[in-house]
Amino acid sequence: MDLYEHQARELFEGHGILVPRAEVATSAEEARACAERLGGRVIVKVQVKTGGRGKAGGVRRAADPPAAELAARRILGMDIKGHAVRAVMPAQPVDMESEFYVSYAVDRASGRFLAIASAEGGADIEDVAATRPDAVGRVPVVPAEGVSRHKAAEIAAAAGLPAEAVGTLTALWNVLIREDALLVEVNPLVRTPQGQLIALDAKVTLDDNARFRQARRGVQETTYDDEHEAAAAAKGLTYVKLDGQVGVVGDGAGLVMATLDVVAGRGARPADFPDIGGGASAQVMADGLGVVLSHPCVTCVLVNVFGGITACDAVADGIARALERVRLTKPLVVRLDGNNAARGRAILDACAHPLVEQVTTMDGAARRAAELAHAAPAV
């Protein structure tokens, strides 16, 4: 579960990390009132769960409350990488003399955490990492050992951070562990002329498997920028909206990721990342297909299922059920293999829907979906 910046900064503040004073506004008039309470001059920051917000025009300086209202009016309603802007965060500006980058993330390949830090933070950190990887320090962290002050000093030295960053590095580690997070990131962490370290940005991804603990600690369920993601979440589905034209439905995250790669390899762009799960019922299949078909940019849909726990006849039944509820206007390419595949194919054959086409291999199904996507009129 990704948090909005204002939610993440509240966690930071609760663990002793300095952040600028800020408030959240959902209208231009509220933004003006926030600026008045914050002293007049503010930075108006868009609140969406994606990077590159500043480059997209979602971060604006305002010299006074009227300027804050104007900035919010321009930002609210924007679409940033598919995320609708419904809130902004006016924050007090901070004088800074240097910018740093710091993050902790799960390194699944090694079964450890990875601290990533650089003395050259800011909007161009991706370019720094790509062109001068030696400017970015990467230090593995053993979960059982954690980040002591000694380990924090090692991380700071590897990245060229000042010695005073040690306290912030240990506090960020506490956020990661005590809040059950998978990712904690600050870009930029700035040093003021007075020597204070302040987190100007905050990004936190919480572990969904620990929601029962997070609920006890008062962590509120997050909202969704995108209506399709919200609809999927309401049905208990894992769904991420992308910017392509081929809708994808699969059972299991690994198979879905492989399907996205194969679709891209055939020259088409996936429109979503949905996972109906390894034990999905016919109802779950119908729900997932309904969400994918509602994506306005989808020109065709590829259903790729390898029956294991999920039997292919249940998947086919879900597709048939969805076709009864949804008026299908886009081609549907289906590949069923594994448990009860023959029975599933027979169910779809019996439907005899003119827009449903079956292909026996994943590569062949991706190729056909790409062909249909390219042949469809531009959306």
**Residues identified as active-site:** 101, 185
Distance, CA of 23 to CA of 3 (rounded, Å): 16
Residues 6 or more apart whose Cβ sits within 8 Å of residue 130? none
- Structural element, H or E, at residue 290: helix 282-293
Cα separation of 310 and 248, whole Å?
17
Coil/strand/helix, residue 91: strand
Expressed in angstroms, the distance from the first to the final Cα of the chain is: 30
User: What is the sign, positive or negative, of the torsion defined by CA atoms of 136, 137, 143, 146?
Assistant: negative
- Phi, psi torsion values for 221, nearest 5 degrees: -60, 135
The span from the CA of 207 to the CA of 175, in Å, is: 12
Cα dist from 120 to 100, 105, 151, whole Å: 5, 19, 21
Q: What is the rounded distance in angstroms from the CA atom of residue 236 to the CA atom of residue 91? A: 35
The CA distance from 111 to 98, in Å, is: 33
Q: Residue 183 corresponds to which tokens in the numbers above?
A: 């990712």
CA–CA separation, 293 and 301 (whole Å): 7
For residue 46, which phi and psi values (nearest 5 degrees)?
-65, 145
Question: In a 3-state reduction of DSSP, which class is residue 133?
Answer: helix
Contact residues for 109 (Cβ-Cβ < 8 A; gap 6+): none
Distance, CA of 230 to CA of 182 (rounded, Å): 21
Q: Are 185 and 102 in contact (CB under 8 A)?
A: yes
Residue identified by tokens 């062909």 is: 371
Which residues have CB under 8 Å from 329's CB, separation 6+? 355
